[in-house]
Amino acid sequence: MLDILLVTFPFFALVLAGYIAARRRMLPLDAIPGLNSFVLYFALPCLLYRFGSTTPLAQLLDASLFLSYLLCAFIMVGFVVAASMNRRIGWNDAAFGALVAAFPNTGFMGVPLLVALLGAAAAGPVIVTLVVDLVITSSLCIALSRLDGADQHGFGKAARHALLGMLVNPMPWAILLGALASAVHMVLPKPVMQTIGLLADAASPVALFTIGAVLARSQMLAAAHGHAPIPLRDYVPVAVAKLVVHPLLVLLVGAAAIALGAPLAPFALKVMVLVAALPSASNVAMLAERFGADNGRIARIILASTVAAFFTFSGAVALLH
């Protein structure tokens, strides 16, 4: 267990550093979107391209892993939406709560952390799960968020927004380009690869620091807008679902798929379970803000899952080791 904590501690310490920097105004709040843009549009796509281009194509086209993880995402979204809705929480808030319950922080945290823990072979399965969440889970939850009926064209608009968001998100394109490079065994010129390598190496520390800063910013903005106190029952159960229910569901579905004869490798299942055990994706807070959801509630779910994941994720690694 100590060996696992020695690997996971620096990752969570960088998140804490970003949180403290933003809370103490060492990092101006106006600078946080710039950090996020650097990670999203430059560093992380280079990291994903590098992993995609060096990963065998068969791992990136693992249909058993894709379908198993997708089924779990659908179950999580349906379960959390059904369990969350009440007089205070409508479709909009329930849908984004479901998104943070089903969408792990794979890009900003999971890719570098799982590669550090399990080796470069973990990159392929992690990338497959990231594609599911970026393309399908996010689009589904955005569409569901428009069912409140405030706008008769809400669902159609949400579908268009989701499609546009997928098209302009550089991460799926980086994965696709990396997969194509892997398929044709293409090697870019050395100066280009060195540039990509520099940006890829910056992705992990800057992304982790940015997670903490984004969480602090969301809390501070909610407080500045006079957000009413959020009952524990509105966010703690969702955080528990993310860290406990999601990985257990993935483990059960994956084990059932293997028992039924699906060609799902035990190592791929292990990676998939650890992806599900990650805390909620921090970028959902900004997405919820854009669509008018209760960003204070979403930020609390993400913060609670991130803090608790230091212990629960390390425990999951120890149990699966």
Average pLDDT over residues 22-30: 91
| Residue closest to 199 by CA, chosen among 179, 172, 174, 167 | 174
37, 234 Cβ separation under 8 angstroms = no
Q: Supply φ then ψ for residue 280, to 5 degrees.
A: -65, 150
> What is residue 185's three-state secondary structure?
coil
Mean local confidence (pLDDT), 138-158: 71
Q: Distance between CA 53 and CA 49 in Å, rounded? A: 6
Q: Which domain holds residue 157?
A: 2-320
Instruction: Specify whether the CB–CB gap between 125 and 103 falls below 8 A.
Output: no
Provide the number of structural domains found in the chain. 1
Q: What is the DSSP string of 253-303?
A: HHHHHHHTT----HHHHHHHHHHHTSPBPTHHHHHHHHTT--HHHHHHHHH
What residues contact 209, with CB distance under 8 A and at least 6 apart?
A: 14, 15, 17, 18, 21, 35
Q: Is the pLDDT of residue 88 over 70?
A: yes
pLDDT of residue 267: 96
Residue 254 in contact with residue 273, Cβ under 8 Å?
yes
Tens of pLDDT, residues 270-300: 999 999 999 999 888 778 877 788 878 888 8
Cα separation, 93 vs 59, whole angstroms: 35
The two structure tokens encoding residue 247? 């990985």
Please give the pLDDT value at position 158.
61
pLDDT band at 159 (very low <50, low <70, confident <90, very high): low
Give me the CATH number covering residue 200: 1.20.1530.20
Length, in residues, of the chain: 321
Greater model confidence, 247 or 120: 247
* Tens digit of each residue's pLDDT (9 = 90 or more) over 204-244: 899 899 989 988 887 787 676 666 667 778 789 999 999 99
Q: How far apart are CA 307 and CA 321, in angstroms?
A: 22
> Within 10 A of 85 (CB to CB), how many other CB atoms are there?
15
* DSSP track, 137-169: IHHHHHHHTTTTSSSTTHHHHHHHHHHHHHHH-
Q: Is the pLDDT of residue 150 over 60?
A: no
Write out pLDDT tens, residues 2-16. Answer: 778 888 899 999 999
Three-state SS annotation for 11-75:
HHHHHHHHHHHHHCCCCCHHHHHHHHHHHHHHHHHHHHHHHHHCCCHHHHCCHHHHHHHHHHHHH
Share of the chain above pLDDT 70, in %: 91
Q: Which two tokens stand for residue 190?
A: 């050395």
Is the sign of the CA dihedral 229, 78, 154, 152 positive or negative? negative
Q: What is the rounded (10 degree) CA torsion for 4, 8, 10, 14? A: -170
Burial class (CB in 10 A: 0-12, 13-18, 19+), 259: exposed
pLDDT band at 187 (very low <50, low <70, confident <90, very high): confident
Q: In which band, very low, low, confident or very high, does the pLDDT at 172 lie, cut at 50, 70 and 90? A: confident
User: Which of 53-67, 195-209, 216-230 has the least mean pLDDT?
Assistant: 216-230
Comparing C-alpha atoms, which of 284, 68, 51, 61 is closest to residue 175?
A: 51
